[in-house]
Amino acid sequence: MVRKLFRMFLAPRLLPFLFALSGCASGTHDKLADAFVSPLHDLNLIRVEIPMVLKKAQQGPYAVAPEADCAGLASEVSELDAVLGPDLDAPSSGDEPSLMEQGAGVAEGAAVGAVRGTTEGLVPFRGWVRRLTGAERHSRNVAAAIVAGTVRRAFIKGLMRSRTCAASQSAARVFPTSPGAKA
């Protein structure tokens, strides 16, 4: 039954997008794969694991060990950066995309969005299914962990600034290092 539905409804709509995206970078393939497995997330069959550094941040976003030194704090900021991505004070890459590249990015986003919308439409009463399977609660837990990690990173950067630690490379743009800063 599912194969028949796929052949009749889904395949004709997805094939043009798949051919268009076949020559794109691997980032597009990852986004496309995520779009295809979206119904499995809705059914709570696939779960995104919360990284340990974010779980620790949830337990105590403002906790400071008395023996925490500048190197340990910088290490924790690096761990959070690896999980959360660059912070707002991270220097820009300087590679501004051309208008053609921007247009390709918009087209890629639209194609992936269409695929995601189609696959999400396969689950009837999606909102209720997500609530009943626990997928909605898990999504909220993941979002709360990301917020806690972001708060923790900001707190540690402020703590490093107050201790006059040498600014990390990502914080150097906002907080220039003073001549008497500790390493």
What is the reported pTM? 0.63
Of the pLDDT bands very low, low, confident and very high (cuts 50, 70, 90), residue 2 is very low
3-state secondary structure of 88: coil
179 within a domain of the structure (yes/no): no
What domain range is 143 assigned to?
A: 2-162
Least confident stretch, 17-21, 108-112, 165-169? 17-21
65 within a domain of the structure (yes/no): yes
168 within a domain of the structure (yes/no): no
87 within a domain of the structure (yes/no): yes
144 within a domain of the structure (yes/no): yes
C-alpha to C-alpha distance for 171 and 89, rounded to whole angstroms? 6
For the chain, give the mean pLDDT.
74
42 within a domain of the structure (yes/no): yes
Torsion-angle region of 97 (φ positive above 0: left; ψ -120 to 50: alpha; else: beta): beta
157 within a domain of the structure (yes/no): yes
C-alpha to C-alpha distance for 177 and 183, rounded to whole angstroms? 10
51 within a domain of the structure (yes/no): yes
Q: Residue 103 has what pLDDT?
A: 72
Number of compact structural domains in the chain: 1
Q: Residue 174 has what pLDDT?
A: 46
In 3D space, the residue among 55, 70, 92 whose CA is nearest the CA of residue 173 turns out to be: 92
